[in-house]
Amino acid sequence: MAASTDGSQNENINVFRAPAKAGAHIDFQMGSCLRRNTAFTMKHNIPSPKAVIFDWDDTLVDTWPVTRAAMNTMLVKMGHQPWSEDEARRNIGPSARELFPRLFGDRWEEADRIYYQAAREGFRDNMKLINGAAELLKRIADMEIFMAVVSNKRGALLREEVETLQWRHFFRSVVGAGDASADKPDPATVYLALENSNIMAGPDVWFVGNNHMDMTCAHRAGCIPLLLETKLPPEDLLKDCPPLLRFKDCSDLSNFIMNNY
């Protein structure tokens, strides 16, 4: 069963689907810098989605300054050098249970406690939205399309933030680190988010995120990968998991949906 915002399991839910429309006709060249004003070579038709899955940090909520500061606080306390902006964008993305054992070995749980405390304090006082996030969620909700969150933020903290923003009603499931058998980019997170929705992972599902972990997860689950250019990773990390389309922010994606669906 998919995880609910209070950590319990969701009951079976009714799936609402958007009215059938022709969809957006997109020219797409795999691996190129995908923008709507680029010359594309392959014709694609993107139908109206049955589900939209969102990453959380720096996709809907602007948490990058807090995330990087908490990471560097932890690194220094663990005897490491703090990460530069480029190093942080290259390395931040995996969940703590995936990243910290690689960095700290048997001391990874100590590092996790330091990071979690610093991050929680920072997020509590700095909940800022990505431009157009609330409007985007309302637009998709008005289309009666299933929405979910899949994040590598610890599940309990993630659901706390969703509740703080009073966004629980937008999402049928909220999946964080530790909720599925493996964390993002493993497709198990997508399968859990869609469980009991009667929607299968595939091209009817959009995965919206801001980094290579999100695009990799979308590719592995067979979903449509859409990138928000809010906190871009180094371009070489997107080479093997290119987005189908790129958008400046949530407002840009909202306008795309309004004009095409």
Higher pLDDT, 153 or 28: 153
pTM over 0.85: no
Whether residue 7 has pLDDT greater than 80: no
Instruction: Return the number of other C-beta atoms located less than 10 Å from residue 47's C-beta.
Output: 15
- What average pLDDT does range 187-199 have in this prediction? 96
Condensed to tens digits (0 to 9), the pLDDT of residues 221-235 reads 999 999 999 988 889
pLDDT band for position 249 (50/70/90)? very high
Amino acid making up residue 32: S
Average pLDDT, whole number, for the chain?
A: 83
- 24-62+128-260 is a CATH 3.40.50.1000 domain: yes
Calculated CA dihedral for residues 53, 56, 62, 66, nearest 10 degrees? -160
What is the predicted pLDDT for the residue at 173?
97
Domain chopping of the chain, boundaries: 24-62+128-260, 64-125
Residues 139-187: tens digit of each pLDDT: 999 999 999 999 999 999 899 999 999 999 999 999 999 999 999 999 9
Q: What is the pLDDT of residue 44?
A: 52
Is the per-residue pLDDT at 38 higher than 80?
no
